[in-house]
Structure 1
Amino acid sequence: MKTKYIIYTLLALLVAFLIYNKFFSEHAKERDALTAGPGGGGAKGGKDAKGGKQSPPVSVTLLVVKDTAVNNQIDITGTIDANEKVSLISQTAGNITGIYFTEGTRVTKGQLLVKVYNQDLQASLQQVNAQMILAKDINNRNKILLEKEAVSKEEYETSLSSLNSIKAQADVIRAQISRTEIRAPFSGTIGLRNVSPGGYLSPSTPIATIVNIDPAKLTFSVPERYLPIIGKGSKVKFTIESSLKEFSATVYAIEPALDAASRTITVRATAPNVGNLLTAGSFAKINLTLDQIPKTIMLPTEAVIPDLKSSKVYVYHNGIAEARFVKTDLRTDTKIQIVDGLKQGDSVVVSGLIQIRPKSPLKIKKVIQ
């Protein structure tokens, strides 16, 4: 029995030794390998990790700061309106006997455009004209007889009154006839017609629209703060979507009161419409010059980095990037005004900014004077 226990004990010790040698020896080797590092000597590897190699210089473009003159401008929107625009309607009802215009063509002031049936009125006018001829003859004879004292003054005045009454009747009929003839109220371009020959025309039926857009009217609104710099005779520049040309307009009228909701005032200007490039109802982008700043610093927008409380730029100083906090003001499409933080002669980094950190070494690729 004792021999059996001794054998069991020895086997257990052997198994324990094998397990220890299998696991604990491998962990020790791994720990030693990690401590030693790739080239052996763990302390040396840690030193490299802290010191490291210095990052290569960043190639940048520099802009030398100098004072420039700049126009303080704002962009606002406006609408192109016709100088004159009217929807033609008839003052009387009746069948259309003639249409004397072609759609989309130019018409002149007073030109006959549409005629409504008026034969009955023409007949009445002829009848009254005949009565007028007779009344004139009677009045002329009575005038001669009055001078010879052959008739009384009352008889002459009666014939004169009758003549004047017939003239008034003729004027009324002529006015009625004129209402059956629709004429152009001003020169312009007539649009699409909504009536046809022979159709019945009533005073509520729109015939066509006449538009005069030379010159064109430009209507826009200006914020209250800019009222002192705009007035009658002021010049404004504007562009439209359908043309690359820049147009000029002259202010001729300003609304006397501000809009209570937007605190803006409506301004209207006229613009020559050379080549008929301006169309009524189109959108206009207006560039309004407020004033000119004679000396200031302007940088490309991409050179100024927004910060939480301010903005900063990087300045080239002794081969490294130096962060400089700046104060900005006026902005344009491509540039921003620097009012504090820079001076003439500073070299501002305008490219490669993504790779730059404070104290980064810089390599000058290009200098913009």
Structure 2
Amino acid sequence: MSKRNLFNPVTIFAVVIAAAAAYLLLIHEPAIEEERPQQAVPVRAQAVQMSEYRDTIEALGTAQANESIVVTAQAQDIVTAVFFDDGDVVEAGQRLVELDSREETARVQELKFRLAEANRQYQRLLDLSRSNAASQQQLETQDVVVKETIAALEVAETQLAQKRITAPFGGRLGIRNVSVGSLVSPGQEITTLDDITPIKLDFNVPELFFASLQIGQTVAARSGAYPGEEFIGEIRGIDSRVDPLTRSILVRALIPNEAIKLRPGMLLRVSLLRSVDETIIVPEKAIVPMQDRHYVYVIEDDNTVTQTEVTIGRRKPGIVEVLGGIEPGQQIVTEGIVRLRDGVSVIVREG
């Protein structure tokens, strides 16, 4: 048989038919889809219940001393004595530094002697005037001398007092900046003095919350220097104006500081309790947002889930207030939401 007769159309058609029959009979087996029951999705759930929602205002504040001054010299002279060291706690009126006051001391002593003599002369003239041995003019002139001497003595005592620097109020001193023998000038800083028991806390609150502020309201402050510790105080002052640039108002709280842990200038995180409400609170991860709506998966009695729309309210990190859509006692899914859809069976895992 020639090659031409071997590959004629009839032969090719027969080969194609045979190959198709072999594929259908030997290779391809029609898939038989068996209906398999859908497996239940493992999830974690939580019962819906009423909880306490503490609505707080958060702010950053700066600690300020209750009273604070820079101790300075009022006169120029040599330091002759220093009666404090760095960080000392002093009482009101306690002497801190003494300047060379020999000249002022002598001046005061001189005027005291002159005043004593002027008073003696005035008394002598007064006795003489009773017997008409001294005129009224002499008596009045001596009275002027007495008053002038008293005034001069007061000036001298004031100048002497300026050479003795004392604490105007009790508190804690800062770093000492002078030594014995150094020359100080008026206005030169000697040290700082802070009364930090109690301590003031200044912070700004947005004007949106102005109506929630009141004198005596409790505040809680936290410092990075003392992790986990809260410092409780109360509002003592609210500024009379709102800052037009920041649209906030300055609030001042007073915090007891008996342990002297807080120092002026420290940065504190302030929490101000606005209200305490009983409401439904759910984990933030239980909420499924879809466009402008929010849903949760409610577990029914037959262990299937129903996608339920809810109305949410206030938020905090990790939790959301639910205003409507679910009721206390219902079970909602908190973990395993990705594999869920309406009507799916679930298995609630413990823990």
TM-score by length of 2: 0.88
Determine which of 231, 234, 251 is the counterpart of 2:217: 234
Q: 1:319 is matched by which residue type in structure 2?
A: N
Trace 1:16-35 onto structure 2 (pairs within 5 A). none
- C-alpha change, 1:139 and 1:271, in structure 2 (3 Å) is same
Partner of 1:202: 185
Residues in 1 aligned to 2:19 and 2:125: alpha-carbon distance in whole angstroms: 150
- C-alpha change, 1:30 and 1:128, in structure 2 (3 Å) is farther
Residues in 2 aligned to 1:37 and 1:89: alpha-carbon distance in whole angstroms: 108
Q: 1:63 is matched by which residue type in structure 2?
A: Q
Partner of 1:283: 267
- C-alpha change, 1:117 and 1:54, in structure 2 (3 Å) is farther
Gaps of 5+ in 1: 1-9
Trace 1:146-295 onto structure 2 (pairs within 5 A). 146-243=129-226, 244-294=228-278
Deviation readout 1:286-320 (Å, 9 max, x if unpaired): 222222323x2110122112333122211113322
- Secondary structure in 1 matching 2:190: coil
Residues in 1 aligned to 2:66 and 2:247: alpha-carbon distance in whole angstroms: 26
Please report how far the alpha carbon of residue 64 of structure 1 lies from its aligned counterpart in structure 2 after TM superposition. 2.1
Partner of 2:349: 365
Which structure has the highest helix share of the two? 1
Task: Tell me the C-alpha RMSD between the 2 structures.
Answer: 2.8
- C-alpha change, 1:336 and 1:161, in structure 2 (3 Å) is same
Q: Does 1:104 align with 2:92?
A: no
Please report how far the alpha carbon of residue 239 of structure 1 lies from its aligned counterpart in structure 2 after TM superposition. 2.1
Deviation readout 1:59-112 (Å, 9 max, x if unpaired): 222222233343322322222211111111111111111111011110111111
Please report how far the alpha carbon of residue 221 of structure 1 lies from its aligned counterpart in structure 2 after TM superposition. 1.7
Q: Does 1:95 align with 2:84?
A: no
Partner of 1:62: 45
Q: Does 1:298 align with 2:281?
A: yes
- Secondary structure in 2 matching 1:171: helix
Please report how far the alpha carbon of residue 323 of structure 1 lies from its aligned counterpart in structure 2 after TM superposition. 1.8
Deviation readout 1:110-157 (Å, 9 max, x if unpaired): 111111222122222222222222212111101111122210111011
Q: 1:190 is matched by which residue type in structure 2?
A: L
- C-alpha change, 1:36 and 1:16, in structure 2 (3 Å) is closer
Partner of 1:351: 335
Gaps of 5+ in 2: none
Please report how far the alpha carbon of residue 240 of structure 1 lies from its aligned counterpart in structure 2 after TM superposition. 2.0
Determine which of 23, 29, 38 is the counterpart of 1:41: 29
Please report how far the alpha carbon of residue 55 of structure 1 lies from its aligned counterpart in structure 2 after TM superposition. 4.6
Q: 1:312 is matched by which residue type in structure 2?
A: Y
Residues in 1 aligned to 2:47 and 2:205: alpha-carbon distance in whole angstroms: 37
Please report how far the alpha carbon of residue 227 of structure 1 lies from its aligned counterpart in structure 2 after TM superposition. 2.1
Trace 1:63-142 onto structure 2 (pairs within 5 A). 63-142=46-125
Residues in 1 aligned to 2:163 and 2:22: alpha-carbon distance in whole angstroms: 114
Identity between Structure 1 and Structure 2 (%): 25
Please report how far the alpha carbon of residue 253 of structure 1 lies from its aligned counterpart in structure 2 after TM superposition. 1.2
TM-score by length of 1: 0.84
Determine which of 288, 309, 317 is the counterpart of 1:333: 317
Residues in 2 aligned to 1:202 and 1:298: alpha-carbon distance in whole angstroms: 65
Deviation readout 1:235-260 (Å, 9 max, x if unpaired): 22222222222222121111011111
Deviation readout 1:172-212 (Å, 9 max, x if unpaired): 11111111221111100001011121111012321111111
Partner of 2:294: 311
Relative to structure 2, which stretch is displaced further, 250-259 or 346-355? 346-355
- Secondary structure in 2 matching 1:213: strand
- C-alpha change, 1:310 and 1:138, in structure 2 (3 Å) is same
Please report how far the alpha carbon of residue 29 of structure 1 lies from its aligned counterpart in structure 2 after TM superposition. 6.7
Residues in 2 aligned to 1:351 and 1:133: alpha-carbon distance in whole angstroms: 96
- Secondary structure in 2 matching 1:276: coil
- Secondary structure in 2 matching 1:255: strand
Q: 1:256 is matched by which residue type in structure 2?
A: S
Deviation readout 1:320-341 (Å, 9 max, x if unpaired): 2322222211122332101122
Relative to structure 2, which stretch is displaced further, 65-74 or 198-207? 65-74
